[in-house]
Amino acid sequence: MILAIDQGTTSTRAIAFEVSPQGAFNPVAVSQIELAQHFPQSGWVEHDAAEIWRATLQTCREVVRKAGGVGRFAAVGITNQRETSVIWDAATGEPLHRAVVWQDRRTAEATGRLAAAGHEAMVQAATGLILDPYFSASKYAWLLDAVPGARERATRGEVLLGTIDAWLIWKLTGGQAHVTDATNAARTSLMDLATLQWRPDLCDLFGVPIQALPEIKTCDALLGTTDPALFGRALPIHGAAGDQQAALVGHGALNPGDAKITYGTGAFLVANVGDRPVASTSRLLGTMAYAAGGTVDYALEGSIFSAGSAIQWLRDGLKVLSDSRQSEALAQTLKDNGGVYLVPGFTGLGAPWWEPEARGTVVGLTRDSGPAHMVRAALESLAYQTRDLLDALKKDGAPPLKRLKVDGGVTANAFAMQFVADICEVEVERPAFQEMTAMGAARLAAYGVGLTSELWTPPAEAPAVWRPRMGEAERARLLKGWRGAVKAAIIAAAPDAGGDA
């Protein structure tokens, strides 16, 4: 069996997968704990790294117990929310500040200064990433400045920095391994995509001591061995990937031209482009697809910052829903969107706009607009944002997709998935087993430890498929309305908006 840890933005989960001799992965036990979100001020998002560790340990122990004991397990695989940045004391293993979450925008001014100074072209050429507060480097620098004495201690190796995978590996190994995998390292703005190594010049640019960073390894490498006291026996940690790359592996999108999108808190399109990085001219991100079995594949990625979180806002903020699952039925009470569009820029807009100061915007409201219009607009925004990413992918020279593989909680909503198929003019395929991030981590670990000879084998269950059925004129009309709404959101975010604007 493989113990897969899936540490996400809203919860921490562990799943035990039984691996058959034929390479089938059967989930046999699961445990999940919700994660508290902290919002100290507008645009700031934090997590408690100590809480994440406690939840990881608790869910893993529960799953090991349910699955029949630690003796049944061959290895541990880890997948995690990417870019979220942790700072901790190397001696005590305690976090020195709350983790700064990938959605956090507090370093927008710092990355803006670097862009204004002309550094973006160099950063993008080396890392595939644009200058944006989304990525870890500026978060690391902020944390080093926020914790008194941390910057000086980091240069001496007394304070460590890492993404969530590195934090969990450090804790799981009892502080014996400070390592990360290449897909997570690729999201920091500090790793050279071509060499898979930290770049000293980038560390200097962002003000991050290279001594504090973890060692970079491939996704299927031996990343460390768990402290025997945690589960009753030491287990090798033999697979790790950031959540979106893990989902790519879980879907088996391992060849150039394959693509998947995960609809979670945010939504992330990852398209495999083969064994060489591709420089995007459409504000997509160049990044890693995976590095395993001697293969290093690259990807183009588009990030939507608010997907499922828009539905959460309707439930928890506006309270027009008592349960997110009501959204499908409520949206279907309307024959159309009534001209209402929601641009969910709660923490800025991601690709291809990259407007960190944008905020959520609703346009097209009339006296007839009601809660159902808001819910439908939120669900429809998933498809519009996906279409923006696919258009950018096409501009970058990628072949048009015939099929888009999807996963994540929102894919249970059949209305939303049909609308994605209609607006994007593409077949949408949802696998029978939905936990693709955990599945990818499990596959990497099983492959790394030698349980399987192939990184991916087709599942036995048939996927659900949605095919486009919307007319061209209707699609064009809706997309025109969406693009007008995005323009309004961007104009509203401009520093000189208001007055005569």
Residue 500: the pLDDT is 40
pTM assigned to the model: 0.87
Beta bridge partners of 110: none
The single residue listed with the structure tokens 């008194």 is 148
**What topology does CATH give the domain 1-501?**
Nucleotidyltransferase; domain 5 (3.30.420)
- Mean pLDDT, rounded, for 28-40: 95
pLDDT at 36 over 60: yes
User: What is the enclosing helix (H) or strand (E) of 8?
Assistant: none
Asked if 398 and 300 touch (Cβ cutoff 8 Å), the reply is yes
Q: By three-state DSSP, how is residue 97 classified?
A: coil
**Is 464 exposed, middle or buried (CB count within 10 Å of its CB: 0-12, 13-18, 19+)?**
middle
Instruction: Express each pLDDT in 454-467 by its tens digit.
Output: 889 888 889 999 99
Confidence category of residue 296, pLDDT binned at 50, 70, 90: very high
Q: How far apart are CA 117 and CA 124, in angstroms?
A: 14
Mean pLDDT over all residues of the chain?
A: 93
Query: Domain-by-domain residue ranges, the chain?
Result: 1-501
**Is 195 exposed, middle or buried (CB count within 10 Å of its CB: 0-12, 13-18, 19+)?**
exposed
Range among 158-167, 255-264, 340-349 rated most confident: 158-167
Kindly report which listed range (83-87, 234-238, 250-254) carries the lowest average pLDDT score.
250-254
Residue 53: the pLDDT is 98
Instruction: Express each pLDDT in 208-218 by its tens digit.
Output: 999 999 999 99
Residue 153: the pLDDT is 96
Q: How far apart are CA 310 and CA 316, in angstroms?
A: 10
Residue 470: the pLDDT is 97
